[in-house]
């Protein structure tokens, strides 16, 4: 447990958190919506500092990031808690555990039993195993921003890059705080409808759109993911709206379209049909996006990176593995078109 940075005092024992756009007002002894930022007598503390629920070394493509150090391993970690309450959450046992009354006793018990991963241990592991990047992922990293910054302050000294896989609900203060330490973002744009965010995610759409715009203006590398949910956010109109929004910021932002599986409180939906994802891909390309990718499906020809000019396959992927990378210094070897991304 450690004192938070992103908060302000409203009175002697009441604080307001500024990590995410909920901006929770938190009374003494209470936590914010996320369940991991708790007020102790007027000081906001991070309950999950150095206590990830799990760590793993994975292909960077699994984040998903396709234009960031392709084919390299990335150290990934996440914690308990989340500032969203997505009914379809694919990681509910960790992200929602602290917010469900019948699970709160388990949450406290599990939190106390977690193996500690202080920044020094994470960075040491990465340097010893030649891992060049760290991802804050699995749940929403803005809720443990201070842990992220502490890790990356040390990691940067060893030349290790930082990745933020997020729902995009950061405040401007949060983005400013992490800006020196994060090199790449993957932002979930779950829908382009306010009602979807309100009823299914317990959040709002506009702050996410604002975050995407800010990250681009910061000059950071960013890719966007939409989990396509059957009958919920898969209409032609909505997918077109998402694609147009991304394209008007930059047609070079990669858009990942992933299949949703029945989970948590939405077990009555069917797995997203492959045909729906393929049609969403066509919408993205027709809208003018240069890099559209499909995920979570087999026999996937739309996982490769193609040159937008001559259509040469530059990076060939098999699920999350890079089978072949023919790019030369971030460019197409055939027509020399520059491909945006972080390649080395």
**Quick one: tokens of 331?**
């460019």
Task: Tell me: do 121 and 256 sit in the same domain.
Answer: yes
Under a CB-based contact definition with an 8 Å cutoff, are residues 50 and 77 in contact? no
> Structurally, how many domains does the chain consist of?
3
Task: Tell me: do 160 and 20 sit in the same domain.
Answer: no
First to last CA, the chain: 35
β-bridge pairing 321-325 and 313-318? antiparallel
What's the pLDDT score for residue 106?
Answer: 75
Task: Tell me: do 129 and 254 sit in the same domain.
Answer: yes
Max Cα–Cα distance, the chain, nearest Å: 65
Residue 13: which domain range? Answer: 2-46
What's the pLDDT score for residue 107?
Answer: 76
Among the candidates 13, 30, 46, a domain finishes at: 46
| Alpha carbons 90 and 342: distance in angstroms, whole number | 28
Task: Tell me: do 162 and 149 sit in the same domain.
Answer: yes
Q: Name the DSSP letter for residue 61.
A: G
Q: Please tell me whether 24 is known to bind a ligand.
A: no
β-bridge pairing 25-26 and 15-17? antiparallel
Mean pLDDT for each consecutive 10-residue tract of the chain (344 residues)?
A: 98 97 98 96 98 97 98 98 94 80 71 94 99 98 99 99 99 99 99 98 98 99 98 98 99 98 93 97 98 91 97 95 96 98 97
The residues, ordered by sequence, that sit 6+ positions from 4 with a Cβ below 8 Å of its Cβ are 17, 19, 37, 44, 45, 46, 146
Burial (CB < 10 A; 0-12, 13-18, 19+), residue 14, is: middle
Under a CB-based contact definition with an 8 Å cutoff, are residues 184 and 163 in contact? yes
| Alpha carbons 1 and 150: distance in angstroms, whole number | 13
Q: Please tell me whether 260 is known to bind a ligand.
A: no
What's the pLDDT score for residue 165?
Answer: 99
Quote the pTM value: 0.96
Q: Please tell me whether 201 is known to bind a ligand.
A: no
């Amino acid at each position: 447990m450690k004192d938070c940075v992103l908060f302000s005092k409203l009175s002697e024992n009441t604080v307001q958190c500024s990590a995410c756009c909920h901006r929770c007002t938190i009374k003494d002894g209470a936590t914010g919506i996320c369940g991991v930022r708790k007020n102790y007598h007027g000081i906001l503390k991070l309950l999950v500092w150095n206590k990830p629920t799990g760590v793993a070394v994975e292909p960077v493509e699994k984040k998903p990031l396709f234009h960031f150090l392709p084919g390299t391993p990335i150290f990934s970690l996440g914690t308990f808690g989340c500032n969203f309450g997505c009914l379809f959450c694919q990681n509910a046992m960790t992200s929602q555990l602290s917010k469900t009354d019948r699970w709160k006793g388990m949450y406290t018990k599990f939190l106390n039993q977690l193996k500690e991963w202080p920044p020094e241990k994470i960075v040491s592991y990465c340097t010893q195993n030649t891992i060049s990047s760290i991802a804050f992922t699995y749940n929403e990293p803005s809720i443990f921003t201070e842990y992220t910054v502490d890790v990356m302050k040390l990691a940067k000294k060893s030349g290790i890059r930082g990745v933020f896989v997020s729902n995009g609900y950061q405040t401007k203060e949060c983005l400013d705080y992490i800006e020196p330490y994060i090199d790449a973002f993957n932002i979930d744009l779950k829908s382009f409808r306010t009602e979807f965010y309100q009823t299914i995610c317990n959040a709002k759409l506009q702050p996410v759109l604002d975050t995407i715009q800010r990250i681009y203006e910061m000059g950071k590398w960013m890719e966007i993911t939409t989990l396509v949910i059957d009958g919920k956010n898969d209409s032609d109109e909505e997918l077109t709206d998402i694609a147009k929004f991304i394209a008007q910021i930059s047609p070079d932002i990669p858009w990942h379209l992933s299949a949703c599986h029945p989970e948590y409180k939405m077990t009555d939906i069917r797995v997203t049909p492959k045909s729906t994802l393929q049609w969403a891909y066509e919408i993205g390309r027709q809208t003018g996006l240069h890099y559209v990718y499909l995920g979570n499906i087999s026999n996937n020809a739309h996982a490769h990176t193609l040159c937008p000019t001559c259509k040469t396959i530059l990076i060939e992927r098999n699920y999350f593995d890079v089978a072949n990378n023919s790019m030369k210094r971030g460019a197409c070897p055939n027509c020399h078109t520059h491909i945006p991304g972080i390649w080395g």
